[in-house]
């Protein structure tokens, strides 16, 4: 039996202007979960009808702040509610897959932050459940909604850069991440490093053939906090990942990022923080967020708004969210697990 309300709509201006909307709920109300709730509450084609936290006080607080009619402390209860079309999962990483399965079995479309799982088999189960229940499932590959990266991708697809020769992605993140509870149970190359992996696979437009990686444990002896990996794609393209977690507390920005794409007819580069905006005062120098969720005239914009708006469009228009599929998530995970295996064994890992 199909329990999902009919929110289907052809992609017309009438539909997009809000005469059809998708009813959504958010599970997980930490700092990033609240950002999701705020963005959804401001989208004209979304009705944010429920929020869920294991803390009753937090759930009520966010519901009141963003004028949400329902608050929950149990995601099981929330996901059985027929008033929802879709759910946005922003909990601790190791709860994503479980909540997503329950949501899909209750006929809810799913947006989930990554990482979904560290198991290829569990990812396959999510794929099967989504197909069986005709669910639109989107994984939050946030950097695909960054204007700069999307422009690079567009030029690659148009052939403007010629044949790709190499990709390089460095991400040195604020070291406070090392102590964040939501990252404690996963290898850092998978979470949050899966974003770096996805960026290279998305731009490469090809499958990984083999991986060679090294890692180092500097702060924590029981887990690696520095990673280097070389990914060779089937077409011969080489991608290099440098992932570490040592941006100090007295930082200009929460991360030091560099992306370089080299082709036979062009080169593209992104650096964060860049020279676009700086603030000085007596305490520190800062570079503001202009990518993830910058605020403009009281409204959250940036990649997060674009990503969640895209998902809502897909549900309303009854089309698969091609910019964040479960199958793409599985390929990213496969590459990530190969990086881990290569670093552990000190050998090249070939992917099937």
Residues 159 and 283 placed together within one structural domain of the fold: yes
The domain spanning residue 39 has which CATH number?
A: 3.40.50.720
CB 73 within 8 A of CB 61: no
Question: Which residues make beta-bridge pairs with 296?
Answer: 299
| Residue 68 included in any domain | yes
Structural domain count, the chain = 2
Cβ(326)–Cβ(130) below 8 Å = yes
Asked whether residue 152 falls in the same domain as residue 135, the answer is no
Residues of the chain with confidence (pLDDT) below 50: 1, 3-19
DSSP for 167-226, please give it.
Answer: EEEEEEEEGGGGG-GGGTTS-TTTTTTHHHHHHHHHHHTS-EEEEEEEEE-SS-TTS--E
Q: Enumerate helices (H) and strands (E) in the chain, giving the number of each.
A: 10, 17
> Is the same domain home to 136 and 175?
no
Same domain, 169 and 283: yes
How far apart (Å, rounded) are the C-alpha atoms in residues 43 and 66?
12
Q: Is residue 49 part of a domain?
A: yes
Residue at 299 is within a domain = no
Residues 42 and 153 in one domain: no
In a domain, 24, yes or no: yes
Give a yes or no: residue 41 inside a domain.
yes
pLDDT at res. 1: 43
How are beta strands 86-89 and 109-112 bridged, if at all? parallel
Name the CA radius of gyration of the chain, rounded.
20
DSSP 15: I
Residues 6+ apart with CB under 8 A from 342: 211, 212, 213, 229, 348, 349
For residue range 277-335, list pLDDT tens digits in order.
777 777 777 777 888 888 999 999 999 999 999 999 999 999 999 999 999 999 999 99
H or E, element range at 350: strand 349-350
The DSSP symbol for 106 reads: T
Structural domain boundaries enclosing 120? 13-142+317-321
Residue 209 lies in a domain: yes
49 shares its domain with 25: yes
Q: Are 54 and 160 in a shared domain?
A: no
Tell whether 160 and 22 lie within a shared domain: no
pLDDT of residue 15: 45
Closest C-alpha to 63, from 100, 29, 112: 29
Question: Nearest CA to 314 among 42, 50, 86?
Answer: 86
Q: How far is CA 39 from the centre of its chain?
A: 15
Residue 294: inside a domain: no
39-42 CB contacts, 8 Å cutoff, 24+ apart: 39/293, 39/300, 39/304, 39/305, 39/308, 40/88, 40/308, 41/66, 41/67, 41/68, 42/299, 42/300, 42/305
Q: What is the pLDDT of residue 11?
A: 40
Residue-wise pLDDT for 248-277, tens only, equals 877 677 788 999 999 999 999 999 887 777
Residues 53 and 123 in one domain: yes
The CATH number of residue 335's host domain is 3.30.360.10
Please, which residues bridge with residue 214 across strands?
Answer: 228
Q: Is residue 249 a contact partner of residue 175, using CB atoms and an 8 Å limit?
A: yes
Q: Is residue 3 part of a domain?
A: no
Please tell me whether residues 344 and 220 are part of one structural domain.
yes
The reported pLDDT for the residue numbered 5 is: 45
Does one domain contain both 160 and 215?
Answer: yes
Q: Residue 254 corresponds to which tokens in the numbers above?
A: 């929460």
Q: Domain check: are 133 and 48 in the same one?
A: yes
């Amino acid at each position: 039996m199909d329990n999902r309300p009919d929110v289907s709509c052809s992609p017309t201006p009438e539909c997009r202007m809000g005469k059809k909307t998708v009813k959504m709920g958010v599970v997980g109300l930490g700092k990033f979960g609240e950002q999701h709730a705020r963005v959804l509450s401001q989208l004209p084609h979304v009705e944010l009808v429920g929020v869920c936290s294991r803390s009753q006080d937090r759930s009520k607080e966010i519901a009141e702040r963003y004028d949400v009619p329902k608050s929950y402390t149990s995601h099981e209860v929330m996901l059985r509610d027929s008033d929802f079309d879709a759910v946005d999962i922003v909990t601790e990483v190791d709860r994503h897959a479980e909540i997503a399965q329950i949501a899909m079995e209750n006929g809810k479309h799913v947006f989930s932050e990554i990482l979904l799982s560290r198991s290829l088999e569990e990812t396959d189960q999510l794929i099967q459940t989504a197909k069986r229940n005709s669910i639109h499932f989107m994984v939050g590959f946030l950097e695909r909604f960054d204007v700069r990266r999307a422009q690079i991708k567009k030029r690659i697809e148009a052939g403007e850069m010629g044949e790709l020769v190499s990709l390089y992605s460095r991400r040195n993140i604020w070291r406070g991440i090392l102590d964040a509870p939501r990252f404690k149970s996963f290898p850092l190359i998978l979470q949050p490093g899966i974003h770096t992996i996805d960026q290279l696979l998305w731009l490469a437009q090809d499958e990984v053939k083999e991986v060679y990686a090294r890692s180092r444990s500097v702060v924590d002896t029981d887990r690696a906090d520095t990673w280097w990996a070389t990914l060779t794609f089937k077409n011969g393209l080489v991608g290099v990942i440098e992932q570490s977690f040592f941006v100090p507390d007295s930082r200009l920005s929460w991360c030091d990022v560099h992306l370089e794409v080299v082709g036979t007819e062009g080169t593209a580069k992104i650096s964060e923080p860049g020279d676009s905006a700086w603030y000085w005062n007596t305490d520190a120098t800062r570079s503001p967020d202009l990518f993830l969720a910058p605020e403009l005239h009281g409204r959250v914009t940036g990649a997060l708004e674009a990503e969640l708006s895209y998902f809502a469009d897909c549900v309303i228009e009854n089309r698969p969210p091609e910019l964040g599929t479960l199958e793409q998530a599985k390929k990213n995970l496969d590459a990530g697990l190969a990086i881990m295996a290569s670093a552990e064994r000190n050998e090249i890992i070939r992917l099937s």
